[in-house]
Amino acid sequence: MKRGMITLSLGLMVISALLIAGCALPTAAPTPVTETAADFYKKNTVTVIVGTAAGGGTDYGTRVFSTFWNQYTGGTMAVENRGAGGGIGASNYVYKERPADGLTIGVHDSGNLVNAVLGKLAGVEFDLTRMQYIGRFSPQSPHVIVASPRSPYKSVADLQKAKGLKIGVGGLSSGFAPGLMMTINALDLKDAKFVVGYKGSSDTKLALTRGEIDVTATDLGDYDLDREKGIVGPALVVLTWERVTEPKSLKDVPALPEVASLTAEQRGFLDRQTKYRAGGKVLWLRPEVAADKVKFLRESFDKIAADENFIKMLKIREAYLGPSMSGEQTTAYIRGILTQDPAPWERLMALGKEYAAR
């Protein structure tokens, strides 16, 4: 009896394992020679792998995008989150492990991916120059350096006079880190401590609201809402070349070059920072996907990105919403960044480690 039960249990474990393996295998129906890409996507489910945990801006935008997929293609789209390793795990998974049948799309903030590559983070197995980009639906807005609502700092001059200033960020590889490192360097904040390790932007903002840290960075598009909620204090400087005109609440906030005499190296940092922030949330395929499928996905993306209702839904969460970019434009943009000299980026990361060690 016991042997029988053990045998049965083992048998069911094997069956479960096979079922699981089956789930992990590609599920696309074989493509007949005459089938078009449109027909292919109508009858197969596309899975979008988001390189962040559920709940963030990238995840929100992707899910909104997925709700329009059926309307424009007749097919279905599923969204899956893999927030491991700041998106590196998800990107490796799509790039190397998923089949090249065009049914798996990766989504991530291009700035984070570029940061991972240029910052030479461990574990990167993807090649940004070989990824096939479908498009970008939401550019990242520039960063604004903000003070805690509990701090006495109202201007850059206040920061420069401050003792024991605490500047907080999620991690050295977070999207906000380069801008903050650059600010510390450009404003020569010798006494500033770079507090790293918060679990993301929500955690960092909460620390700012509590007064645990004095300064952090936020997206320009989030500033008005965060200020209204009392989460952030006054904006001190915007990380752009010139003053911004939108939102109106920031029109009197200086741009970085206005408050710091930037050296050539620092101008290089700002140049990287502004280009890096323009990347936004990109959708991409692994290199081997067939050209006709890439073309269909790009065309579908362009239609959805131009849909007024889609834009309206994105704006609920992102007040500042720049234009989308097509697949070709995104490809040119990403490759353009990567052809630049990575030395300033490496130098910035080294500075960040130095500031964190103070």
Q: Which of residues 298-337 bind another protein (CB under 8 A)?
A: 313, 316-317
Give min distance, CB of 2 to another protein, in A.
6
Interface region with another protein, contact rule CB under 8 A, candidates 50-58, 232-240, 282-290, 292-300: 50-58
Among 199, 243, 251, 295, binds another protein (CB under 8 A): 199
Give min distance, CB of 321 to another protein, in A.
14
Give min distance, CB of 241 to another protein, in A.
29
When the beta carbons of 267 and 303 are compared against another protein, the nearer one is 303
Across the beta sheet with 76-81, the strand order is 76-81, 45-50, 104-109, 281-285, 132-138, 325-326
SS3 36: coil
Dmax over Cα atoms in the chain, in whole Å? 83
Among 122, 190, 245, 261, binds another protein (CB under 8 A): 122
Q: Does 103 bind another protein (CB under 8 A)?
A: no
Among 28, 38, 100, 121, binds another protein (CB under 8 A): 121
* 155-184 positions binding another protein, by CB under 8 A: 166, 168, 170-174
Q: Residue 135 region, left (φ>0) first, then alpha (ψ -120 to 50), else beta?
A: left
SS3 231: coil
Interface region with another protein, contact rule CB under 8 A, candidates 104-112, 223-231, 243-251, 287-295: 223-231
Q: Does 189 bind another protein (CB under 8 A)?
A: no
Across the beta sheet with 193-196, the strand order is 193-196, 166-169, 215-219, 143-147, 235-238
In angstroms, what CA-CA distances link 291 with 133, 214, 331?
A: 12, 50, 14
Among 128, 134, 213, 334, binds another protein (CB under 8 A): 213
Give min distance, CB of 275 to another protein, in A.
23
Q: Does 18 bind another protein (CB under 8 A)?
A: no
Pair 77, 69: CB distance under 8 Å: yes
Interface region with another protein, contact rule CB under 8 A, candidates 221-229, 261-269, 276-284, 330-338: 221-229
Q: Does 257 bind another protein (CB under 8 A)?
A: no
- In whole angstroms, give the CA distance from residue 134 to residue 301: 7
Give min distance, CB of 189 to another protein, in A.
16
Q: Does 205 bind another protein (CB under 8 A)?
A: yes
- In whole angstroms, give the CA distance from residue 33 to residue 252: 61
Pair 247, 322: CB distance under 8 Å: no
Pair 135, 282: CB distance under 8 Å: yes
Pair 150, 230: CB distance under 8 Å: no
**Size of residue set near another protein by CB under 8 A:** 77
Q: Does 286 bind another protein (CB under 8 A)?
A: no
Give min distance, CB of 296 to another protein, in A.
22
What are the residue ranges of helices labelled H in 44-109?
A: 57-73, 88-92
When the beta carbons of 35 and 224 are compared against another protein, the nearer one is 224
